[in-house]
Structure 1
């Protein structure tokens, strides 16, 4: 029996050592990516803020000034400022799409390392997302400070809600990235297909326009007689089925509206996040065994 106990203890110690090694490797890879992103640039990490600011300025000019899209008013904050509203969407969408793209290509980008030493393959995917999350946290802090200047410091009362929301978003991103990373190893065309899909997904997520505009289009089509079984086309329902639309809406609820996202929003995001994380982990474990041979 003592031999069995010793063996069990050795297995637990070995698993603990493997977890510690994986965590250390993930941290080092994430730090390497963070340091290398803006290496040898004059402005350094400032570029992580200038890039989204330029996008926000362009989208605000096109959609806010030229197209005159309706500007939502903050529910509790009473903020009425299109650049801030669209800025939350642009920065959050850039984080989600950028993290998925980075995680998806992480195995291919590190194929030299994969062929030399053995380690838990998922570390590459997670470390890429961790590095991207660090940049996003900096941008979130800037967004909150700008919001506090425009709408008042009451936004700070809702900032703690960003922690569980960001955790769910990270789980969503990791789960999808795990599946896509192994799929890309076997099907290289996926990278080009994903670039096209991401463009469509961005507009379907309401980055540049509010759900009220979709409702307006639905009502307009209904008034013109475009119906399904005598009912208006369910454009709003289809629009809100998109999990990233819910994620962006939740971030806007907290930062722009000074409000708590509804319970159904939390549940919907949570189901998607945990569902994708479980499925992504299972798929990755099943198909990552032969990635070195495929590379």
Structure 2
């Protein structure tokens, strides 16, 4: 049975084109408008717990996949490309297309999928864009460096509790329930180790999405105090993509908590 921490999310599985398994959560309104949501890096399908309540209130059925190597999804094949997991997810749910929300490192996967007709609109909430350099990008270029960092941070977070995880993303005080859900998402994202996290921080040509290639409606909500994903590259990308940017007086996790309802409502309205 789902726990309160997981906000009653249902876990499903389907096959990817390479024959490997994709695991995803379903939450919100069972009969609602489908919206795909991408977790951060690291993260998992348990990200659904942070969106489930506002989704349910707005008549949205959330589909939140574990990207390859995170949570319960099999690791990627050697020729894996960002964005390719959306089609098997949509097929499993008998959908032709869907709007997509992306938080943090999930931005790359969402933008990559938006180059095809399977995405109707994209909402970036504190979302990374191809040219955004985070403080961890340089470490990701060091062999095993990022993987070692997350092994240590994961172990420390398990000892110190949810507050240690939340402290990586915000300076504000958050309710205990929110902290537990953020921590559960983080730890599930590292269940298979930190290989998937390191891979997503190492940018390659397959992860680069030109703003001109995004021809669906794009909106971004971003915090001016976000130290995890800097604002200015996001501003430049959204402007080049002819999108709309809302700047909040918030940090990384604060932006998600403050903007999730507005982003979901905008996605569902399309």
Select the structure with the greater relative contact order (CA < 8 A; seq sep ≥ 6). Answer: 1
Q: When you count helix as a share of all residues, which structure comes out higher?
A: 1
Scaled by the length of structure 2, the TM-score of the pair is 0.28
Scaled by the length of structure 1, the TM-score of the pair is 0.26
Q: When you count strand as a share of all residues, which structure comes out higher?
A: 2
